[in-house]
């Protein structure tokens, strides 16, 4: 499985960014997808996830109402729309795929996902 995230950058508080991820090497429509962020000195945080069908989403409390996850299976892509960004959103954002197809494990934390690689850096200045 390969996951390529992009779209990060340096923005000011209150700005918006849209992260994109292209996945390959899997039957995309069978897997839940997520975005996990990694900040120095903090545990990895599953900020948003979407079911294999796209019908169910889950957000960390810290981003509810500001972030929106979406997917398009025909393109093997998942996006994260981030609005009203805050300095505490600063992190490397990784696209993630659930370790098993279907099921409910995707609703749990980062341990139920495969992710890694470079990710995309999001830096929010105050």
Q: How high is the mean pLDDT in each 10-residue block of the chain (126 residues)?
A: 96 98 95 96 96 96 98 97 98 96 88 91 97
pLDDT at 112: 94
How far is residue 107 from each of residues 14, 23, 48, 55, 87, measured CA to CA in Å?
A: 28, 20, 10, 13, 26
pLDDT at 59: 97
Distance of alpha carbon 59 from alpha carbon 53, whole angstroms: 16
CA 67 vs. chain centroid, Å, equals 10
pLDDT at 99: 94
| Strand ranges in 33-119 using DSSP code E only, listed in sequence order | 33-38, 45-50, 57-59, 67-72, 77-82, 91-98, 113-114
């Amino acid at each position: 499985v390969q996951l390529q995230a992009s779209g990060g950058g340096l923005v000011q508080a209150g700005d918006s960014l849209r992260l994109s991820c292209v996945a390959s090497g899997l039957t995309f429509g069978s897997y839940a997808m997520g975005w996990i962020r990694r900040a120095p000195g903090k545990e990895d945080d599953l900020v948003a996830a979407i079911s294999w069908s796209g019908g169910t989403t889950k957000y960390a409390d810290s981003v509810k109402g500001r972030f929106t996850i979406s997917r398009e299976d025909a393109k093997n892509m998942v996006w994260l729309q981030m609005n009203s960004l805050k300095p505490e959103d600063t992190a490397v954002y990784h696209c993630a795929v659930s370790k098993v197809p279907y099921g409910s494990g995707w609703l749990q934390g980062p341990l139920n996902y495969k992710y890694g690689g470079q990710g995309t850096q999001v830096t929010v200045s105050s």
